[in-house]
Amino acid sequence: MLTSIETKTRSIIKAISWRFLATLTTSAIVYAFFGRLDLAAAIGVIESSSKIFLYFLHERLWLRIKWGKKEVTPFVLWFTGLPLSGKTTIADMVYKELKQIGIKVERLDSKQVRQLFPKAGYTREDRIRHLGRVAFLASMLEKNGISVVASFITPYKEARDFARKLCKNYVEIYVKASIETCMKRDYKGIYEKALKGEIPNFTGISDPYEEPENPDITIDTEKLTPEEAKNIVVGYVKKRFLR
C-alpha cells in the first residue's frame, strides 16, 4: 500500500484544470448577455489569470481544514471463542465489509500467524506469550491508524486482559456456542481427535476456555446467522468509531 503527501504542483494543476472549465462557462455567460465575443474573451483572460492564483490559495487552505473528512478512530476487534464456534467465518465477513466502507484494516487469524511461527506452542504459558505478541502487533497497527480484525481462541482471561490493556480501542467479541454445538460442526475431525487424546491442550476438551465475563459484544451463533452477526459487529463499529 502506498501513502501520499499532497504536492503543491498537484494543487496548481488542479487550479488550471478547473480554470479551463470555469472560464469557458463565464465567457459563454458574458457572451449570452452582451453578444460581444471580444469582451467575453477579454474578461475570460483577466478572470483566468486572477483566479488560478486564488484557486491555488483556496486549495492549500482547505488542505489544513479537517472538517468534512469522515474520521475513523482505529480499533481492534478481537474475536474469542471455542474452536469451531464461528470466529473466523464472522471475522472474515466483518473484515471484508469494513474494507469496502473504506476503513484501513488488517486481518489477523490464528491459523495464519501460527503457520508462520509453527513453534509457538500450546501450553498455557506458550499461548499467553503468543497472544501477547499478537496483541502487541495489533496495538502497533492501531497506533498507526490501521484497524485490526483478530480471531484467536484466546481461552484465558489473562491474555484477553493483556490485549485490552495494550490496545487503545479493544473490542472483545465473544463468539458463543456450546461445546456440543462446536462438536457437531466438527467437519475437520479435530474434536474427535482431541477426545481420543491425540491433541493435547485442546481448548474445551483438555484445556479450559475461560468464558468472557464482560465482552463488548456477544454473538450467539446458535441463534444468529453469520450475516446477522456481521451486521451487529459492523453496526457497532460504525456507531462507535466512525464520525
User: Which residues would be at the binding site for a copy of itself (CB under 8 A)?
Assistant: 1-7, 9-11, 13-14, 17-18, 21-22, 25-26, 29-30, 33-34, 39, 42-43, 46-47, 50-51, 54-55, 58, 62, 66-74, 102-104, 106, 116-117, 119, 129, 132-133, 136-137, 140-141, 143-146
- The greatest distance separating any two alpha carbons of the chain, rounded to the nearest whole angstrom, comes to 95
Nearer to a copy of itself, 14 or 193 (CB): 14
Nearer to a copy of itself, 128 or 190 (CB): 128
| Cβ at position 101, least distance to a copy of itself in Å | 8
CB of 208 to a copy of itself, least distance (A): 23
Q: What is the DSSP letter of 242?
A: B
- In this complex, which beta carbon is closest to a copy of itself, that of residue 32 or of residue 187? 32
Nearer to a copy of itself, 117 or 211 (CB): 117
State how far the alpha carbon of 68 is from the alpha carbons of 62, 120, 164, 179, 243, in Å: 11, 45, 31, 47, 10
Angstrom distance (rounded) from CA 179 to CA 149: 24
- Pairing type for strands 76-80 and 147-151 reads parallel
Taking CA atoms, 154 is separated from 54, 85, 125, 170, 180, in Å, by: 57, 12, 12, 14, 19
> Minimal distance in Å, beta carbon 136 to a copy of itself?
6
By the 10 Å C-beta count (0-12 exposed, 13-18 middle, 19+ buried), 71 is classed as: exposed
Between 184 and 243, whose beta carbon lies closer to a copy of itself?
243
Residue 176 CB, shortest distance to a copy of itself, in Å, is: 29
Residue type, 159: A
